[in-house]
């Protein structure tokens, strides 16, 4: 086998992998986006109609379908402009690794302890809350548009922010590391068909931001006092405090790569 043959085989393998990767991304997002489902159904109807028109030799309908196919790309760009913009923004989101403080295990445990204390109080008092914890993907766009706080994570502070008479209680709190960056943040709501219709705006906003970034969204229901967690586009209902604590510690624990980079940077200093 020659080198040229090996290169050609590698090119074909890469080509096939890219196609399957693109197909996987489309199908993964298809189940979460109502407009994407409608688009898929529309394309399927057009394809079936085109096949039938060619098979039955229907000249008029075939001509109309050809006209639709010719102008379809431009129409899709106009109709799905918001979705295209959001996709491009997600692709261009900056990573935060190495740009902010990497918490030690003690600092992480203390931060999770303060968050769960606040959640425990708000559950008992039926205070609705939405807490978003930033990870690798930057939430700077949402922080910039919210009310800046820049305070250490504190249970009483989080509880007071979501107190009913507080002007900021309707929005979300964003936490970066061991700091509360802002309050009153507004997030995009999810169009997922899997979410229960009984759930309100907080749950949809939590799921929406978790679909677009790798953050962790924590929700306390004002009506039931139950705890929910949204991560990776999945909403987990009715967690206990212990389950919440374990999930937060597991999701926020730094990887070995990050820890080694942080140690290397500390040693060089």
| Pairing mode, strands 172-176 and 129-133 | parallel
For residues 117 and 241, membership in a common domain is answered with: yes
Query: Domain of 15?
Result: 3-91
Residue 124, exposed/middle/buried by CB under 10 A (0-12, 13-18, 19+)?
Answer: exposed
Share of the chain above pLDDT 70, in %: 81
Domain count, the chain: 2
pTM: 0.64
For residues 28 and 126, membership in a common domain is answered with: no
CA 172 to chain CA mean position, Å:
15
Query: In the structure encoding, which two tokens stand for residue 136, read together?
Result: 């690798």
Q: Which of 20-24, 29-33, 91-95, 207-211 has the highest mean pLDDT?
A: 207-211
**What are the tens digits of pLDDT across the range 178-188?**
999 999 999 99
Q: How many other CB atoms are there within 10 angstroms of residue 207's CB atom?
A: 27
Q: Considering the domain boundaries, does residue 96 fall inside one? A: no
Q: Considering the domain boundaries, does residue 178 fall inside one? A: yes
Q: Single out the residue in 67, 91, 115 at which a domain terminates.
A: 91
pLDDT score recorded for residue 76: 72
Q: How confident is the model at residue 55 (pLDDT cuts 50, 70, 90)?
A: confident
Does pLDDT of 263 surpass 50? no
For residues 83 and 110, membership in a common domain is answered with: no
For residues 128 and 155, membership in a common domain is answered with: yes
**What are the tens digits of pLDDT across the range 217-251?**
999 999 999 999 999 889 999 999 999 999 999 99
For residues 48 and 124, membership in a common domain is answered with: no
H or E stretch covering 38:
helix 34-56
């Amino acid at each position: 086998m020659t080198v040229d043959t090996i290169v050609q085989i590698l090119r074909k393998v890469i080509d096939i992998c890219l196609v399957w990767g693109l197909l996987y991304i489309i199908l993964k997002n298809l189940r979460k986006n109502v407009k994407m489902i409608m688009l898929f159904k529309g394309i399927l109807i057009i394809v079936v109609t085109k096949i039938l028109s060619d098979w039955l030799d229907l000249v008029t309908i075939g001509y109309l379908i050809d006209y639709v196919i010719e102008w379809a790309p431009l129409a899709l760009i106009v109709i799905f402009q918001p979705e295209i913009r959001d996709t491009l923004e997600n692709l261009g989101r900056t990573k935060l690794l190495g740009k902010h403080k990497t918490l030690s295990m003690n600092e992480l445990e203390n931060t999770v302890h303060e968050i769960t204390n606040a959640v425990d109080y708000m559950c008992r008092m039926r205070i609705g809350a939405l807490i978003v914890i930033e990870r690798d993907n930057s939430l700077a766009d949402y922080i910039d548009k919210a009310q800046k706080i820049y305070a250490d994570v504190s249970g009483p502070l989080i509880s007071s922010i979501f107190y009913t008479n507080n002007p900021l209680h309707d929005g979300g709190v964003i936490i970066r590391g061991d700091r509360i960056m802002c309050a009153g943040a507004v997030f995009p709501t999810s169009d997922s068909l899997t979410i229960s219709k009984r759930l309100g705006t907080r749950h949809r906003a939590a799921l929406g931001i978790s679909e677009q970034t790798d953050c962790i969204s924590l929700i306390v229901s004002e009506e039931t006092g139950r705890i929910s967690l949204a991560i990776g586009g999945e909403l987990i209902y009715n967690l206990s405090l212990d389950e919440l604590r374990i999930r937060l510690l597991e999701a926020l624990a730094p990887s070995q790569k990050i820890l080694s980079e942080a140690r290397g940077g500390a040693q060089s200093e």
